[in-house]
Chains A and B, each alone.
Chain A
Amino acid sequence: MNISLRDPNVVMKLSRLGSFHQSKLSFLRSFLKEFKDWDYKRDLFELNEHGYGTAVYSFKKKNRVYSLICFANELNENERSDRVIATKWDAAFTLFDGVPLKQDIERLKNEVPKQEFGRLSYKELTLSRANKSVRVFNHVVECLSEGKQPDNDLITSVGYLYRTTAVYGSGKFGLADRFRIKDREEIYGPFRLEMMLVYLVRQFTFDQVNHVAKSKNPKKAVSLDINICKSLGIGNSTGLGMAPFIVNHPTLLNNWISAREISLKKIREIKAVSEKDKNLFLECLKKSIKNITSWNTESEYQINKIKSLLKDLNEFIVYLDNDFNFEQDYAFNELYLYLEKEYCEECIEYVVSMMMEPYDNITSPLIKEMSSEEEKYFNIPTERTVEDLKLILEKKYPDILTIDFTKNENNLNFWFISKNKEEPRLANRFDEVGAELEQPLAIARDIKKLYELLSVTKNSWTIAKFLSTNNELRHVVRRAFIVEKFPYSEIQDNTIGQKIMPIDMLRLKLSFFGALKFDPRSDKWLRICMFQGAPLPEQLKNHDEHWVYN
């Protein structure tokens, strides 16, 4: 049976993308899998009694070494902020390519804590900073120093000791450009080095909390229980910075979504589902409910989504246990069709992620295809005709072409870059100043404009001739030819309309990162947790790849 890939005009709607969940394709899971055979080491740990100082951690295999350098600094209460506008943090980190020399550490000690205002070099691969959850960190220190383990309820409800507020890579602030490292096999999957940084930071937070507790009460202190460590991840506060990323990297976005869609298609095409695979799917699905019930948020929007997801999943599990026959041909296809008929997008996409769990043979080869050589598709095929381009727009943007952008509600917002932190923001164009400096992220509106212009242009004209007098729309002409080749490269929604939920864009990206427990703090930023439940570095070899559900 040949199952078609899902229609981009359905999958690429923001509400659907904002319903994606982590899966076997997620970058943090594929990172752990790739690096499970690497040698982990804590190379340096020079912290004072308060936990301030320098530490270095590394992963090594043959001649390749990646080293995380951590700088933990004292921070006054009033200086601690998760906002991107902060200028000081409890700790700052960089992932160094190789083994850092003393002079490298000295150089970086002056630069890394400054983050965006520091200068990095081609020897550094990623950069980040993090703040303590003071409440949890202090509680853990108090308990450990008294020889006790911390309160499990508090640990579970927060889920981390530190949260990062940004992780930078790919040439930012002088960091190594991707071209320098892109041929390394171990980082073929996207964001591998960002994941490595966050993972090693997690270990640093455990070592630091143990060290501070021990310094406080050397005779009585105990170490944080290994199982509690495993249950803690790294928090992350994420704002609008992520949203433009997925618009600005169309072929990369395509390759992420495409890997998911091809996985689903291949799973639906399995004629006979083995008992073992069925059981693994059911086991992961049932165990995963724990992640949903421990998902804390104050966001009414998310609470409703969680409630409806939980209700749907519980119903779905009853259906699976009582009424569904896995022995029928193409059982996963039947299951998928049933989901589409009966359940909400959040539930459908949740189960799609779960369906991948038994099928390493399907997902593993696709993970290597999730990066992109974007430069290859930059040039516009200007020998093509206006007629070609018009047909592409009609075929690839059917819903977008029906939007009336003369209505204020459809043209309400504009994306801009803030001057103080060079961060993307979204504002109402009719209430705020600055719309004339709008970023080219209103793709739907500009595609519609392009279509209207093409409609009054001769079909036989080449794109070269068209562009010679219409370069204002060059950026979307380029995109249209990209979407012709890469069907999942474009969000099929209006990103400047009244109804835009920017966190849908954030959730899409974070689901591919492998984040759990999305906690929206507004419609424009959210908190998540990464690596919660993941094996510790010393447990990586032979770790259970389904750790997410344990």
Chain B
Amino acid sequence: MRSLSEIDTVSKRSSKAAGYSWGIAEEIGKNIRLLEIFSLPGIRNLNSFFKKKKELRLENISIIKQDNEANKNEYCPIIAGVNFLDQIKTLETLNEITFKKVSYPLLFLPFVSRAAEVIGKRIFLKMDDREFLLNFNNNIYSNYTKNEIIESAENIYLKVLENRDSFEEKEWNELYKLSEETFVEENESLKQGGAGAGLTDND
């Protein structure tokens, strides 16, 4: 089994050899490591991408907008990903973002996962019919578990999820009430002798 350190190093060096700058290659190293930690086929997709990259004649996107559509060919997942990560603080306010025609979209995914950590919000990502919930870069919840190469996505839809409770107030209150059963009811004696007794906290 390859260690994550080897995965990171080889992904970084191969990315440089494939034409990316060292700074971007470093990002790719970390990303492929991330995909593999989450049991997603990072190495397989990266290898396939680099083999086909030249013939794909990919388009680079620099400034990301709400709706992004490549002109002729597909977007490069790396450049789109790097700029998405870099620009996430402004993109966050757009709430929903779409990309049409992205090559090897699984390579775009870890940039979004890391962006979720940067803004401290979950991001929902739909890659055609594959759905991913990116939880602050701590884990990825998905209906996609295949160990396959995804050569392209026609549509990528992203939604920044507001930090909201996933439960009803009533459910919280019920649980809180139960938790109170671990507390001790204070009688007069405990009030007089307990820690902090006799002090006023409003002076």
Q: Residues of A with Cβ closer than 8 Å to B?
A: 121-122, 170-179, 375, 378-380, 382-383, 417, 440, 462-465, 467-469, 471-478
Q: A171-B5, A471-B24, A473-B23 are in contact. List 4 more A-B contacts (CB 8 A).
A: A171-B3, A174-B1, A467-B83, A477-B23
Alpha-carbon separation in the docked complex, A379 to B118 (Å): 8
Alpha-carbon separation in the docked complex, A462 to B90 (Å): 11
Contacts of B114 in A (CB 8 A): 379
Closest 10 CB pairs of A and B: A474-B23, A171-B5, A171-B3, A475-B23, A440-B22, A468-B62, A464-B86, A382-B86, A475-B22, A383-B89
Contacts of A175 in B (CB 8 A): 3
Contacts of A179 in B (CB 8 A): 4
Interface size class of B (residues with CB under 8 A): 20 to 34
Alpha-carbon separation in the docked complex, A287 to B88 (Å): 59
Alpha-carbon separation in the docked complex, A177 to B2 (Å): 10
- CB distance B89 to A478 under 8 Å? no
A475, closest chain B residue (CB): B23
Q: Contacts A472-B21, A474-B21, A478-B23: A464 and B3 contacting too (C-beta < 8 A)?
A: no
Contacts of B2 in A (CB 8 A): 174
Contacts of A440 in B (CB 8 A): 22-23
- CB distance A171 to B4 under 8 Å? yes
Q: How many A-B residue pairs have CB under 8 A?
A: 79
Q: Which of A175, A383, A473 has the most C-beta atoms of chain B within 10 angstroms of its own C-beta?
A: A383
Q: Which of A170, A179, A379 has the most C-beta atoms of chain B within 10 angstroms of its own C-beta?
A: A379
- CB distance B21 to A177 under 8 Å? no
B22, closest chain A residue (CB): A440
Alpha-carbon separation in the docked complex, A477 to B24 (Å): 11
B5, closest chain A residue (CB): A171
Contacts of A471 in B (CB 8 A): 21, 23-24, 82
Q: Does B155 contact A (CB under 8 A)?
A: no
Q: Which of B3, B24, B62 has the most C-beta atoms of chain A within 10 angstroms of its own C-beta?
A: B3
Contacts of B22 in A (CB 8 A): 440, 474-475
Contacts of B24 in A (CB 8 A): 471, 474
Alpha-carbon separation in the docked complex, A379 to B26 (Å): 11
Q: Does B30 contact A (CB under 8 A)?
A: yes
Chain A's nearest CB lies how many Å from the CB of B32?
A: 14
- CB distance B3 to A122 under 8 Å? yes
Chain A's nearest CB lies how many Å from the CB of B21?
A: 5
Interface string of B1-36 (1 = CB under 8 A from A): 111111000000100000001111011001000000
Alpha-carbon separation in the docked complex, A472 to B20 (Å): 8
Q: Does B68 contact A (CB under 8 A)?
A: no
Alpha-carbon separation in the docked complex, A178 to B13 (Å): 20
Contacts of A379 in B (CB 8 A): 85, 114, 117-118
- Which residues 103-120 of B sit at the A interface, judged by CB distance below 8 A? 114, 117-118
- Which residues 25-77 of B sit at the A interface, judged by CB distance below 8 A? 26-27, 30, 62-63
Chain A's nearest CB lies how many Å from the CB of B6?
A: 6
